[in-house]
Amino acid sequence: MTANQVRRCPVFIDGLWRELPDLETSPVYNPSRGEVIAEVPQCSDEIVNEAVEAAAAAFPSWRDTPPVERARLFFRYRQLVEENFDLICQLVSREHGKTLAEARGSAFRGLENIEYACGIPSLLMGDSLENIARGVDCETVQQPLGVCVGITPFNFPAMVPLWMFPLALACGNTFVLKPSEKVPLTAILLIELLEKAGLPKGVLNVVHGGRACVDALLTHPKVRAISFVGSSAVAKYIYETGTRNGKRVQANGGAKNYIVVMPDADVPRTVEALATAAFGCAGERCMAGSTALTVGVAANRVLDSLVQAARAIKVGPTDAAVQPDMGPVITAQHRDRVLSLVTRGETEGAKVICDGRGAHNHDAPNGFFVGATIVDEVTNEMTLAREEVFGPVLNVMRMDDLDQAINLANRSAYGNGAAIFTNSGKAAREFKHRVKAGMVGINVGVPATMAMFPFTGWDDSFYGDLHIQGREGVQFYTQQKVISTRWFGDNVGDVWRK
């Protein structure tokens, strides 16, 4: 496929890749250029039903496949992903706009989840105890649920799908993946590689579309569990609709992550971490450090250096030979929303001290660019303080002391991540015990977890009980069975033979 060809994305159902020329489509952009590079079909209820039925038909055989054999599939898959790693990263960069360095980092996090799934024989081990009563033994086993669904966002085209289907399949479930209609190409490549690794027919299926496709998955009677990552409003809808229809649901939502900067923070390292947390991936991640709470004289110590660092960030197309420091946001509409929120903050009384609203690249005049932006003197009543911007915008809010900073952070409806930069063990301990967030960083700006730990958002950042990744992920994709056993015979049981 040449750079100017528009690809029609296929579905993958019952082991076959199929194009659906009769369905309506939506465009997939290269956000660095503002060009359409693919068309994705809006799958109907009938197509969704085909995918779920294929997964349901494949489940009995896959469930009975020994965990060691399922693990071997993922050892082969890991090798193929590693061999095609550069191709995956280039595709992430092309359809999403991440720099190649960012694409590599996120894809590597996905690879770690494949590696975690390779350990499934140990992860599925249960407990046992002899003689819970005379002659009675007890054991637990973890068994798969059935057909599981993954609905993934645009901001991590490789990593988030890999959060879901490797562990779900390794646990013995079958799967239907609905990637974001904005970035379907990476997901298609990932499943093509899984097919090469030896994926049995029907065990994993791929459909595309928007709300109608999602609703068909949420209400299908043969779907047992749903994993979702996206905005909080949609996460709440997914959770409520899915659970109302009898599904197990883990729905990760948005965030407003606070980074507290204490007066004693190491300035160079804090500035570097703040810039990475706020502007990395163009701010399009739910763990972005979107608000700096500067305590006391901390603002005077860090802001000048932070503004210099932000102004030095070069914005441009990520498909160019010379890589920029930051790429575009996902669509023109999203770019306009980010810009309007900054302007609204200024109207409401905040001070823009680093302005990225005029970002433009001569080599890519149609790219969806927003430069690194810092808005100072934001107050909690402002729109910028309440809404998730999901762009390269850092709010600065000035606090008198740590107590005020923690109290403000804890008033947020969200609860994904929070961080503190300090050299004080006392301040760090106070912060980590009191702050209301599922993931906490101490001198770590983006406290996102690795595959062996759960991704633990709280409050409006997560709807459900069992989180994505780690042992909670295994628990989500399995159900526990407790077995009590007694064998009758001589000298066995509560009544001894005389």
**What residue spans of 1-145 are helical by DSSP H?**
45-63, 67-83, 85-96, 100-118, 120-123
What is the structure's pLDDT at 4?
Answer: 56
Report the alpha-carbon distance of residue 313 to residue 320 in Å, rounded: 16
Asked if the structure places residue 380 within a domain, the reply is yes
9 carries an active-site annotation: no
Pairing verdict, β 373-376 and 351-354: antiparallel
Residues 15 and 113 in one domain: yes
Report the alpha-carbon distance of residue 2 to residue 392 in Å, rounded: 31
**Token pair 């899984």 in the structure block, residue:** 194
Pairing verdict, β 414-415 and 458-459: antiparallel
From the list 9, 118, 171, 286, the catalytic residue is 286
Residues 19 and 134 in one domain: yes
What is the structure's pLDDT at 495?
Answer: 53
Report the alpha-carbon distance of residue 293 to residue 388 in Å, rounded: 16
**What residue spans of 327-378 are helical by DSSP H?**
332-347
Residues 224 and 262 in one domain: no
Residues 347 and 414 in one domain: yes
- Residue 318, SS3 per DSSP: coil
Asked if the structure places residue 453 within a domain, the reply is no
Asked if the structure places residue 402 within a domain, the reply is yes
Q: At 206, which helix (H) or strand (E)?
A: strand 204-206
Report the alpha-carbon distance of residue 326 to residue 440 in Å, rounded: 25
Find the CATH number of the domain harbouring 362: 3.40.309.10
Pairing verdict, β 393-399 and 373-376: parallel
* Contact present, 464 and 105 (Cβ < 8 Å): no
Instruction: Dihedral sign for Cα 73, 75, 81, 83, please.
Output: negative
Q: Which two tokens stand for residue 372?
A: 């690194």
* pLDDT tens, residue order, the chain (498 aa): 444 578 899 999 999 999 999 999 999 999 999 999 999 999 999 999 999 999 999 999 999 999 999 999 999 999 999 999 999 999 999 999 999 999 999 999 999 999 999 999 999 999 999 999 999 999 999 999 999 999 999 999 999 999 999 999 999 999 999 999 999 999 999 999 999 999 999 999 999 999 999 999 999 999 999 999 999 999 999 999 999 999 999 999 999 999 999 999 999 999 999 999 999 999 999 999 999 999 999 999 999 999 999 999 999 999 999 999 999 999 999 999 999 999 999 999 999 999 999 999 999 999 999 999 999 999 999 999 999 999 999 999 999 999 999 999 999 999 999 999 999 999 999 999 999 999 999 999 999 989 999 999 999 999 999 999 999 999 999 999 999 999 987 665 555 444
Report the alpha-carbon distance of residue 270 to residue 256 in Å, rounded: 19
Q: Which two tokens stand for residue 259?
A: 């980074």
Residues 67 and 187 in one domain: yes
Find the CATH number of the domain harbouring 128: 3.40.605.10
* Contact present, 93 and 318 (Cβ < 8 Å): yes
Residues 218 and 290 in one domain: no
Asked if the structure places residue 455 within a domain, the reply is no
Contacts of 160 (CB under 8 A, 6+ apart): 110, 152, 153, 229
Question: What pTM did the predictor assign?
Answer: 0.94
Report the alpha-carbon distance of residue 238 to residue 229 in Å, rounded: 10
Residues 407 and 431 in one domain: yes
The whole domain housing 276 covers 257-442
Residues 135 and 234 in one domain: yes
Asked if the structure places residue 115 within a domain, the reply is yes
Q: In this structure, what is the dihedral angle of CA atoms 194, 235, 62, 179, given to the nearest 10 degrees?
A: -30
Asked if the structure places residue 452 within a domain, the reply is no
Residues 201 and 92 in one domain: yes
Residues 189 and 134 in one domain: yes
Asked if the structure places residue 189 within a domain, the reply is yes
Tell me how many domains the chain contains: 2
Asked if the structure places residue 147 within a domain, the reply is yes
Residues 242 and 271 in one domain: no
Contacts of 185 (CB under 8 A, 6+ apart): 7, 9, 28, 37, 38, 91, 94, 95, 157
Residues 74 and 102 in one domain: yes
What is the structure's pLDDT at 7?
Answer: 86
